[in-house]
Amino acid sequence: MDAVKAWHTEHAYFRRLLALLHKQLDVFHGGERPNYELMLDIVSYLREYSDRFHHPREDVAFDRLAQRAPELALPLARLKQEHRVIARAGEALVGHLNAILSDAVVPRAEVEMAVATYLVYYGSHIAREEEDVLARAAEQLGAEDWAAVQGAARLGQDPLFGDQPEERFRSLRRQIALET
């Protein structure tokens, strides 16, 4: 099913970004200065694209799937809650990164905790969706359901992974190309 394939593809993109973010956390752990600008670009993209387009579509898919597979209602409700936790964790992380880039002093422990929280929540969230939801959604949801999912958040071209990345994400796109 094309919608499930697109869902999986977006997860693969997000994993690549989380891996890049994790590398910057490793630099931070090593006592060096990570590329805070890159980190901010990663989290900004994930917040702007995922929180505005990807997660709202998933929420509709989860609601539809819970109607067809009631035994999944509680795990799907937890995944929807995680969307809010991820958004808040991303907001906190962006705040720390913006402060650092504005030459404010932010305790290392706070930065480390914010990055680690974001990585852990986001990574485990994607893994659960991949393992527990995508195959069931492909089996259970029909054309009307997928139309409702797509209607939840209309979007144009992906600002990072689309054919023409937005100017502000071009350096991030180049960095991703270097990593693969």
Q: With the CA atoms of 129, 12, 60 and 48 taken in that order, what torsion angle do they form, in degrees rounded to the nearest 10?
A: 130
* Model pLDDT for residues 15-37, shown as the tens digit of each residue: 999 999 999 999 998 999 999 99
Q: What was the pLDDT predicted at 180?
A: 66
The CA-atom distances, in angstroms, between 143 and each of 53, 117, 157 are: 19, 36, 22
* Model pLDDT for residues 116-153, shown as the tens digit of each residue: 999 999 999 999 999 999 999 999 999 999 999 999 98
Quick check: 1 pLDDT over 60? no
Angle between helices 2-29 and 108-128 (to 10 degrees): 160
Averaged pLDDT for residues 38-59: 93
Print the domain residue range for 104.
Answer: 2-179
In the chain, how many domains are there? 1
Cα–Cα distance, 59 to 65 (Å, whole number): 10
Long-range (24+ apart) CB contacts under 8 A made by 26-29 are 28/108, 28/111, 28/112, 28/115, 29/112
CATH code at 162? 1.20.120.520
Cα–Cα distance, 134 to 138 (Å, whole number): 6
State the pTM of this model: 0.92
